[in-house]
Structure 1
Amino acid sequence: MTALSIAQRDNGEGSRTHLYETIANDLRETGYSINVGALPQDLAKSLWQYVQAMSNQAFDPAGIGREQDHMLNHFVRSDEICWITGETEPCRQWLQWSTDLQAYLNRRLLLGLFSFESHFAHYAPGDFYKKHMDAFKGQANRMLSLVVYLNPGWRPDDGGELVLYTGEEGDASIRVTPGFGTVVAFLSEEFPHEVLPAARDRYSIAGWFRVNTSHSGRVDPPR
């Protein structure tokens, strides 16, 4: 039975545990996990309603890099984002779901995930994010990337797919339709990916589980 069918049958603790287990098994076997419509329905609906009610002013143009290297680059990406801080009930529920996933993966896979950061992302029609990495080998920081899609009624011809490049040689890839409640997780240092332009507004949550890279004289910031 798939994660989707169980989520449709049981939107409670059973579906949550099954999805966490599916993600853990997939990460162990392939390094990535794609689960169509698998986010608990109540949580997905709550997050979708929240993002639909958000003001346009809540979003900022997305940049690349972090800290002193952060900059806007509309040649690379053209989306806009709003960081999730947990100040509202839907966001608290999302952060709790992510915290539970973090604990589960640490217990099953011994990943040493230390913290989590995430934001809402809005891609207007035509927006994109060109091929990139979420983390680079040897710079232990972001270890696991997580994406959840909040787009009811998304059709194949709406575009906006996530392209996950899975081949060590060439451009072997998987295209993921950003349908409602789909959950994608992948090892941040292993998989280049991009977001293709869409024909309609596209909403998602992007998040990253991080390891602790703090050391004497420097505290690793949350983002």
Structure 2
Amino acid sequence: MIPDHPDFGIDPSLDGGRLAPIFSRFGRLHLPGFLREPGAKALVAALSGADGWTMSTMGGGSTVDIPVEAFTAADEAARTALIASAHGEARSGFHYLFHSLRISDLVESGAPVPPALAALYEWLNGEAFLSFARALSGDPELAYVDAQATRYLPGHYLNEHDDEKPGAGRRLAYVLNLTPTWRPSWGGLLGFLDADGHVAEAYTPAFNALNLFRVPQPHMVSQVAAFAGGPRLSITGWIRTGR
């Protein structure tokens, strides 16, 4: 049985100090099998059964959050108009469309959150994970990790951007992939862009792999294909110098 309050831990084969030279050279890493298996499975169960998802997108340059239930209940014309507007803005600028569950905000406000997600947030801000991130990145100032769950369905995307936000203390970005099965042809790839705008490297959202990369760094999540076999699930955020 998968526990509601799992004990998270990093796979012992992964050593932050040993990986540091690779991260220093490339500024990013894909770490398969990051968590011990019971913890990863508990997170999949929590995300699959979670309520309270919002459709996160943009309108006129500002964040727009719509409860998924409200979007689903709207008439077809309203849904079609919203998607058409999103695509119009996405065509020529930064834009995104996916489902979100803001774990940090929920935990800090005392709102209901699946126990496994609350436990992960606590663990990410504990010494075990922060020490790993400091050793790997060579950055001793890392002190806080925020977290949100994301769910990409067919048609969802995240356009190119670099995560830079002056004053926010963002040093590293991370994506903990929690989709049990995924094929590269389904889209949803985390792509890193070079100076010429080419995709220099892309990571498939492999189950229980941690993608970690330095901020700022141009990247994107490619649109999920209409024929994808399920939702692309992950927990993502920034490792920062403070709250």
- Same fold by TM-score greater than 0.5: yes
The 1-side partners of 2:19 and 2:117 are apart by 22
Q: How far off is 1:27 after superposition?
A: 2.4
Alignment partner for residue 194 of structure 1, among 220, 229, 235? 220
- 1:122-167: CA deviations, max 9, x gaps? 111111111112115x6562111010111112123222111122x3
TM-score, structure 2 length as denominator? 0.69
Q: How far off is 1:18 after superposition?
A: 1.9
Alignment partner for residue 53 of structure 1, among 49, 56, 71? 49
1:62 equivalent to 2:50? Answer no
1:79 is aligned to 98
Cα pair 2:8 2:123 within 8 Å, conserved: no
1:148 is aligned to 176
Q: Note closer, same or farther for the CA distance 1:35–1:106 as it changes in structure 2 (3 Å cut).
A: closer
Gaps of 5+ in 1: 1-10, 213-221
Alignment partner for residue 205 of structure 1, among 228, 235, 238? 235
Amino acid at match of 1:91: L
Q: Which has the larger radius of gyration?
A: 2
Q: How far off is 1:48 after superposition?
A: 0.2
Q: How far off is 1:49 after superposition?
A: 0.5
- 1:88-133: CA deviations, max 9, x gaps? 4312432244232223333561341121111000111111111112
Q: Note closer, same or farther for the CA distance 1:14–1:90 as it changes in structure 2 (3 Å cut).
A: closer
Amino acid at match of 2:233: Y
Amino acid at match of 1:60: T
2:3 is aligned to none
Q: Note closer, same or farther for the CA distance 1:170–1:111 as it changes in structure 2 (3 Å cut).
A: farther
Q: How far off is 1:202 after superposition?
A: 1.1
What's the Cα RMSD here? 2.9
The 1-side partners of 2:21 and 2:179 are apart by 26
Q: How far off is 1:35 after superposition?
A: 1.5
Alignment partner for residue 185 of structure 2, among 150, 153, 157? 157
- What does 1:119-158 correspond to in 2, within 5 Å? 119-136=148-165, 139=167, 141-158=169-186
Gaps of 5+ in 2: 1-6, 65-84, 108-112
Cα pair 1:37 1:179 within 8 Å, conserved: no
Range with greater deviation from structure 2 (203-212 or 88-97)? 88-97
The 2-side partners of 1:122 and 1:23 are apart by 29
The 1-side partners of 2:211 and 2:18 are apart by 11
1:30 is aligned to 26
Cα pair 1:151 1:178 within 8 Å, conserved: yes
SS in 2 for 1:38: coil
Q: Note closer, same or farther for the CA distance 1:142–1:154 as it changes in structure 2 (3 Å cut).
A: same
The 2-side partners of 1:111 and 1:146 are apart by 17
- 1:60-103: CA deviations, max 9, x gaps? 12256xxxx85239331110211114554312432244232223
The 2-side partners of 1:54 and 1:23 are apart by 34
2:70 is aligned to none
SS in 2 for 1:71: strand
